[in-house]
Amino acid sequence: MTTATANPAADRSRMKGAALALPALLLLLGFFVAPVLSLLVQSVTEPSFGLQNYRELIATPTYATVFFNTFLVATLVTFFALVLGFPVAWALAVLPPRWAGVIFAVVLLSMWTNLLARTYAWMVLLQTTGVVNKSLMALGIIDTPLALINNLTGVTIGMVYIMLPFIILPMQATLRTIDPATLQAAALCGASRWQAFWRVLLPLALPGIASGGLIVFVMSLGYFVTPALLGGTSNMMLAELIAQLVQSLLRWGMGGAAAFVLLVITLALYAVQVRYLGAGRTAVGG
């Protein structure tokens, strides 16, 4: 008990309160905790007991490439999402409500539209005979169509598109909490715009930037759909590898080992987020 009460009846009713969480807890234990643990156990028991799956994961160059690709894509996506998202978040925080409302609605519309529908749009837009290539050729920028799909470029464009709302929303929330008077004070004290931006606005916005960036980085590491559809065979990412190991190759042990690695990285980054940036609102819309 966090607060000592003299009334045992009140104590009982509080414990009864805890019992209300029981159905959900049992569901979670039976159909979430147990299956995930059992998958991780399989990584050291299948095909035989030991760490051979992890050894294979480290020693095989193909898998090393997958890890490299995963981190490369997550880094690129986080970078571009931050660079493109920051001005939008900033604008959302300062624009008159009516204009901000329009941009906000666009961000939400894009975020709430079915993921496959959006990825499909990019598959069509980016293909060799797609609108992007045709426009670039019509403008005389290129002579032959660029390969924009089934490679790193396609995955990056598609993923930045998906992740932008997840970075804009936390950043604009942080920017809104900054008191404009702080910046006026900086100006009164003789700071130039440049100094006010680098030494006042950016440091104050940093928690939002860091937490948005971290959310996007973590989400990108484990992303499955967009890389699988817009990427090629040579830039497979970790999530797709796990699915393939399990579903097509039936190598449960290897799949479990790769899942364990992804899980550890995700939880470690999440712990950083909670420790230094506060649990806050994660990727949820709202």
For other proteins, the closer of residues 142 and 267 by Cβ is 267
Give the side-chain half-sphere CA count within 13 A for 146. 17
> Is residue 86 within 8 Å of residue 175, measured between CB atoms?
no
**Residues making up the chain, counted from first to last:** 286
Question: Does residue 82 belong to the site contacting other proteins (CB under 8 A)?
Answer: no
Span 149-188, contacts to other proteins by CB under 8 A: 161, 164-165, 175, 178, 180, 183-184, 186-187
End-to-end CA distance of the chain: 32
Question: Does residue 50 belong to the site contacting other proteins (CB under 8 A)?
Answer: no
Ramachandran bin of 140, using left for φ above 0, alpha for ψ from -120 to 50, beta for the remaining angles: left
From 72, 151, 197, 280, residue interacting with other proteins (rule: CB under 8 A): 197
From 56, 76, 79, 118, residue interacting with other proteins (rule: CB under 8 A): 118
CA distance 142 to 22: 62
DSSP for 206-252 reads HHHHHHHHHHHHHHHHT--HHHHHHS-GGG--HHHHHHHHHHTS--H
Smallest gap, in angstroms, from Cβ of residue 234 to other proteins?
18
Question: Does residue 203 belong to the site contacting other proteins (CB under 8 A)?
Answer: no
Binding to other proteins by CB under 8 A, coded x per residue (else -) over 86-105, reads -xx-xxxxxxx--x--xx-x
Question: Does residue 190 belong to the site contacting other proteins (CB under 8 A)?
Answer: no
For other proteins, the closer of residues 58 and 264 by Cβ is 264
Question: Does residue 3 belong to the site contacting other proteins (CB under 8 A)?
Answer: yes
Q: Which amino acid is at 190?
A: G
Span 26-45, contacts to other proteins by CB under 8 A: 27-28, 31-32, 34-36, 38-39, 42
Position of tokens 């609605």?
Answer: 105
DSSP category for residue 6: S
Closest-CA residue to 70 (of 247, 263, 270, 236): 236
For other proteins, the closer of residues 51 and 106 by Cβ is 106
Binding to other proteins by CB under 8 A, coded x per residue (else -) over 124-143, reads xx-x-xxx--x---------
For other proteins, the closer of residues 152 and 283 by Cβ is 283
Span 51-70, contacts to other proteins by CB under 8 A: none
